[in-house]
Structure 1
C-alpha cells in the first residue's frame, strides 16, 4: 500500500520564489519541469525549442513570482500559463522570421578586419577577447541582423545557450569598452 503523494503548494512555492528562495524554484522545477516540457512540446513540436521555452519559463517564473495574484487564478494555472504563452509566442515568432540567404553569412575568423569608426581598435580588441563561438553569435546578431533562432540554427546550438552567450558577451564588451 503506497501513501498518496502530498499536494504540492504552488502558492507557497511562488511566494518563496518571490522572496528569493532558490530552493523553492528547484522544488518547482523538480515537480513540474517534465509536465511543462510536455506543454511546450505540444505547442512548439520541436524538442530543442520546447526545452528553451521551459528554460525561459522558469526564468520568467523566478523573476515574476512576486506579481502572481491569487485573486486572478490558481498558482499552478499561472505557472502553466507562463509556459504556454512563451511557447505560443515562440512559435508565432518563428513563423514571422524571414529566411536569410547563407551567401550573406558573416563568418568571424582571426584574420577578419571589421572597420569601425571612432573606437575601432578598442572594439576589435574587446571582440578578440571573446570566445570564438560567442564572438560569432554577437556578430551574427549585430552585424548580420540574424535573430537568436537563426543563430541557433546556423551554429547548431540550443536557443537558450545562444541567448545566454549573447547576453554575457554584451556585458563583457560593455565592461571592456568602459
Structure 2
C-alpha cells in the first residue's frame, strides 16, 4: 500500500513538473507547448467552467477566454509557489465568476411592468440588513487591517487565494491560514455580538 502511495505521489509530481514546464514554455511564447497544454488541461478546465456557468455554450466561450488569459499571463506563474493545475483552475474559476457577474436578468417589457411586484426590501428588512452590516463591520474592525482587507477581497470581491497571496506577498498556505483564522474570529465575534 505504501509503495502505491509513493508511486501515485511520484506520478502526481511528474504531472505537475510537466505542466509547470509547459506553462514556462508558454511564457516564452512557445505555440507547441501552448497546444500541448490545451490538450492536457482543456477537459478539466471546461468542467470547472461548466459546473459554475451551467451552460455548455457559455462554458466553451469561457474556456477560449481562459486560454487567452493563460497565454497572456503565463509569465506570472511561479512553480514553487503554486501547483500548476491549481493556478490554471483559478484562472478558469475567476473568469467564470466574471461571466456570472456580467449576466443580467432579462428585461421586462414596459407593458408588463405594472404587473411586477416591487422587489425592493421593505423598511424592516432594510433595518435588519443595516444592523447586520454594522455588526459585520464592527467584527471586521477587530481583525488586523491587512487580514480584514484579505477577507473582504476574497469573500466580497472574489479574489482567489493565489491572487491574494501574490498581492500581499505571502506564501499561498499562509494566505489560506490568514483567511481561515480570520473567518473563525469573525464567527466568534458575530456570536458574541448577536442581536
Query: TM-score w.r.t. structure 2 length?
Result: 0.46
Whose Rg is larger?
Answer: 2
Q: TM-score, normalised by structure 1?
A: 0.50
Structure possessing the higher relative contact order (Cα contacts under 8 Å, 6 or more residues apart)? 1
Larger % of helix: which? Answer: 2
